[in-house]
Structures are given as structure tokens and as C-alpha cells.
Amino acid sequence: MSPLQPVATDPTAQAPTLSLLASWIVVLSLLLGWLAVARPAPLAAQPTGVSWAWSGAITEGSAVVVARLARGVSEARLVIAPDGTDAEVDALTVPARGYASPDAHGLVRFEATRLSPATRYRYRVETREGQHLEGRLRTWAAGPFSFRIAFASCATTGSNHRVFDAIRALTPDLFVHMGDFHYLNIGRNDAEAFRRGYDRVLDSSRQSALYRAVPIAYMYDDHDFGPNNSDGTSASRPAATAVYRDHVPHYPLQAGADTIQQAFDIGRARIIVTDTRSSREPVDAPRPRTMLGEAQRRWLEDELTRAKDAALVIWVNTVPWITKGNESTHEGWAPYAEERERLATLIDTLGLTRRLVMLSGDGHMAALDDGTNSAYMAGRGPDSRGFVVIHGAPLDRWPRTKGGPYSHGVSRRDHQFGLLDVADTGTALEVTASARDAYGQLVPGLELRLRCDQTGCATR
Ligand SMILES: [Fe+2]
């Protein structure tokens, strides 16, 4: 028989085949439909010329943008314009307006210092060939200024979970990443391994989109500094610190210091970010031990003293402060109790206990304490009150509780973060601290509303 000749078929015999085919089509359509619902619309593909870009070190008049160019791209420039306009501003001071060549690792770093306060900007890192990546930022203002901070820690290396979209959707002015940016646990002095870590995280489309939409303040914790529970003796320390300095848009670091702590103002709030890994003594070192190292502790004491008139102090301390459930634990500040008491005593002496909010990560949980359990000053009694402590984690990592107890409880779930809203009325700061889920929704019970003036913060 010729292959082109129609084949006589028995229609009754073909019916079951057709119905089976139809069933498969229905199943396939349902599956495709489910996939379309379960997977959000893809983000715009990234051009190949600029691998990633992020901003930070925001002040009322300046910003830093760091980008990585693809191999073979010889130059790029930063174009910056007030959001909603094409009016490019001449803000760049480093390098001077024009194109910059990347370093040996493809990095370009731009500093804009002639920005206007409280202004939203759109920026574009653009290669000479016209390939570009866009980002956004808002400058702060000196004096009364309302702002929103999102904060979190702990995401499996290169996570592309939708929680990053949820954070972006809330349009914070700053994202404070409190460590475990990746879980590579690099235990050797290997700068290239740390560079790969940044690439793996920043190549994630959802994380990249968040970091381009929201300026960052990033402090590493153990897994992105060295191995689990790493301290200042980790062989990885020089590489972790050096690669951080190059890759992260950060506030000025202390000259000559081997720690990366930072402090800055947003409106009338003072933000202090401490480095709890680089100079940490091992938990089995003789007591009293230091978590911060002598030099950083002196720096912190100076910073707190200088901040004593701030309307609000936000201390980003990556690891659990409260360990009253078990003071013999190796978790958080428990093994460094003497240093904790010394700092708590200074904070109290300065009158800051009622004007300080601590943001923390490390524990894979969200938790909130209104001061009931956080008092560690010398001479404290059972009724002594400390400052507010809020944990916002984990971004994408299995849940685990650390420290505590916490007055408002613990949410031991995955895909969480924290949100701090500060509305400055000119006479007072209305502060709302809350924990959020993977959809940006409030985690029930984990919210605290404060009103802060020069006499301190009180719940409202
Ligand atoms: Fe973690």
C-alpha cells in the first residue's frame, strides 16, 4: 500500500483513542493553567552587558551604586534622573561624569553626591554599547522625614522565592539584610569563592529585582562570613571583609578596622549596624569574651553616646539579644553576657532604653519583645524593662527558634521578614514594627505601635 493512501479505519475502534487523547489534553491544559497561576509573571530578562547592580549608602544628598559588568564589557556609566522625568542630573562625583572601566573582577562603583533630599531617582547602569540595568532609590532628608525599612536574614544560596517580590511590593526606602545572604560556609581565605557567592545571589531574578528597586544596608552573619557559628578566628575573615568592601554599596567603614560596622541617619533616627562576626572571640574563649571586639565596642559606645539626643535609635544587631530562656546556651549574646550587660548599662545610663529599637535575624523565626524580657543592665530587677527587640526571618530557610522568651511570641515559619514604619509628624515619631509573611501580610500578633518623642517611646 502506498503511504499516501488513506487507511480504512473503524470509527468505533478509534473512539477510545480519541477520548484518551482528549483526556490528556484536558489534563495538560489544567497543568499548564496551574503552572501559569503558581508562577508569577516572569521579570524582564536581564541584558547581558550588566550582570547585576544595587545601591546603598543613601544620605539626604548622595548614593552609591555598584554593578558587575559582563566579561568583555570595557566601560559603563551611571545615568541618574528624578523618577518620572528624563532630566538626567549631573550628580556623579566618582567617577566624574562619563564612562568608567571595571576592575579586574568586572565591578564598577559610582558615587553620586549632588542629589536633592527626599527625592525619588531612577538610575541606569549603561554600557557603551547601550545595554543597561535600571534601579530606583529615594534620598533621605535631614530633620523630620518619614520612611519605611524592611529587614530580614537567611536565604538559601541564590533563592528566588516570591518573598523577595513581597518585600519589593511594600516599597521600602531601605532593605536591611542582616546576614546569611548565602549559605556557602566558606572556611578558607578565598576571595574568588566570596565573589561567586555575591554573583549567585545577585543573579537570582527576584533578589536582583529587589536590590535594584530598594537600596541595601547589608551586614553579614556566620554562613556568609565563614562556616556555621564562625567567629573572628575564621580563616575566611580577610576574604569576607575585602570582598564585602568591593561588592557592597556600604556606608563609610572605619579606617584601618577589620570590622565592617556602620552608622547613619535617616531623618531624625540614628541607625547603628554592628558586625558581630569579624572580631568575635570563640564561645569557648576565657570569660569575659567579646562579640564585637574591643575597637568596635568602643566605637559603639561612642556612637550610642553621640545618639543620645536622637528621637529614635535603631540598632541592627544580627544575633539574638534575649537569651533568658537559657543563659547557658551558646546562642546569641549568652556567651558574651558581660559585654551585653556593659552595653545595656550604657544605653540605660544615656536614657536610650525607651528610645531604642533592635532589629535582629539569625534565628529562623519572627519574634517581638516590647522590652519585657530584654533588660540586661547592671542592677536590674525582675521588673526592669529593656528596649524593643524584633526578629524578622527567615527569608527562605527552614524555621528554627533561637533565644527568647519574647513578650509577643514567636512565629516559627519560613518566608518571613520584618517591617519598620516611621512616620515623623514633626513633634513625634509614630513607629510601627511588625513581622510579615511571604505575601507581605502581617503575622498575627507580631506588631507593636510606638509613639516616640524626646521623653521616649510609649505604646500607642
Ligand atoms: Fe540563618
pLDDT of residue 398: 97
The answer to whether the 50-138 and 147-459 domains have the same CATH topology is: no
pLDDT of residue 107: 97
CA of 359 to the centre of ligand 1 (A): 15
**Mean per-residue pLDDT over the chain, rounded:** 91
pLDDT of residue 98: 82
Query: H or E stretch including 110?
Result: strand 107-112
pLDDT of residue 454: 80
**Residue 58 Cα to chain centre, angstroms:** 14
CA of 306 to the centre of ligand 1 (A): 32
What architecture does CATH give domain 50-138? Sandwich (2.60)
pLDDT of residue 88: 84
CA of 10 to the centre of ligand 1 (A): 65
Where do the structural domains in the chain lie, given as residue ranges?
50-138, 147-459
Q: With 90 as the cut, is the pLDDT of residue 18 above it? A: no
CA of 154 to the centre of ligand 1 (A): 4
Q: Please give the average per-residue pLDDT across 343-360, as a whole number.
A: 97
Q: Are strands 107-112 and 120-127 parallel, antiparallel or unpaired?
A: unpaired
Q: Please give the average per-residue pLDDT across 290-295, as a whole number.
A: 98
CA of 234 to the centre of ligand 1 (A): 17
Rg (CA), the chain: 25
Q: Please give the average per-residue pLDDT across 298-318, as a whole number.
A: 97
pLDDT of residue 39: 42
Contact between 292 and 274 (Cβ < 8 Å): yes
CA of 153 to the centre of ligand 1 (A): 7
Q: Please give the average per-residue pLDDT across 53-64, as a whole number.
A: 97
CA of 176 to the centre of ligand 1 (A): 15
CA of 417 to the centre of ligand 1 (A): 13
Strand order in the sheet with 356-360: 262-266, 269-273, 312-316, 356-360, 388-392, 366-369, 410-411
CA of 51 to the centre of ligand 1 (A): 26
- Banded model confidence at residue 230, pLDDT cuts 50, 70, 90: very high
Q: With 70 as the cut, is the pLDDT of residue 289 above it? A: yes
Kindly state the cell numbers that stand for 178: 542582616
Q: With 60 as the cut, is the pLDDT of residue 143 above it? A: yes
CA of 370 to the centre of ligand 1 (A): 23
Q: Please give the average per-residue pLDDT across 414-421, as a whole number.
A: 98
pLDDT of residue 35: 43
Q: With 60 as the cut, is the pLDDT of residue 91 above it? A: yes
CA of 319 to the centre of ligand 1 (A): 10
CA of 112 to the centre of ligand 1 (A): 33
CA of 179 to the centre of ligand 1 (A): 7
pTM of the model as a whole: 0.90
Q: Please give the average per-residue pLDDT across 168-173, as a whole number.
A: 98
Q: Tell me the per-residue pLDDT of 172-211, one tens digit each, with 9 for 90 and over.
A: 999 999 999 999 999 999 999 999 999 999 999 999 999 9
- Banded model confidence at residue 22, pLDDT cuts 50, 70, 90: low
Instruction: Please give the backbone phi and psi of residue 232, each rounded to the nearest 5 degrees, phi first.
Output: -65, -10
- Banded model confidence at residue 97, pLDDT cuts 50, 70, 90: low
CA of 59 to the centre of ligand 1 (A): 29
Q: Please give the average per-residue pLDDT across 359-364, as a whole number.
A: 97
CA of 314 to the centre of ligand 1 (A): 21
436 vs 85: which has the higher pLDDT: 436
pLDDT of residue 46: 53
CATH number, span 147-459: 3.60.21.70
User: Strand pairing partners for 267?
Assistant: 142
pLDDT of residue 43: 43
CA of 287 to the centre of ligand 1 (A): 26
Contact between 422 and 172 (Cβ < 8 Å): no
CA of 222 to the centre of ligand 1 (A): 8
pLDDT of residue 440: 98
At residue 393's C-alpha, the angle toward residues 389 and 398, to 5°, is: 140
CA of 392 to the centre of ligand 1 (A): 11
**Beta strands in 349-416, from DSSP E residues, in sequence order:** 356-360, 366-369, 388-392, 410-411
Instruction: Please give the backbone phi and psi of residue 68, each rounded to the nearest 5 degrees, phi first.
Output: -115, 125
- Banded model confidence at residue 2, pLDDT cuts 50, 70, 90: very low
Cα–Cα distance, 382 to 378 (Å, whole number):
12
CA of 223 to the centre of ligand 1 (A): 7
CA of 225 to the centre of ligand 1 (A): 12
H helical segments located in 312-437: 337-349
Q: Tell me the per-residue pLDDT of 255-279, one tens digit each, with 9 for 90 and over.
A: 999 999 999 999 999 999 999 999 9
pLDDT of residue 95: 74
- Banded model confidence at residue 15, pLDDT cuts 50, 70, 90: very low
Residues with Cβ within 8 Å of 124's Cβ and at least 6 positions away in sequence, in order, are 78, 79, 80, 132, 133, 134, 135
- The candidate with the shortest Cα–Cα distance to 210, out of 162, 177, 164, is 164
CA of 180 to the centre of ligand 1 (A): 5
CA of 219 to the centre of ligand 1 (A): 13
CA of 277 to the centre of ligand 1 (A): 13
- Banded model confidence at residue 10, pLDDT cuts 50, 70, 90: very low
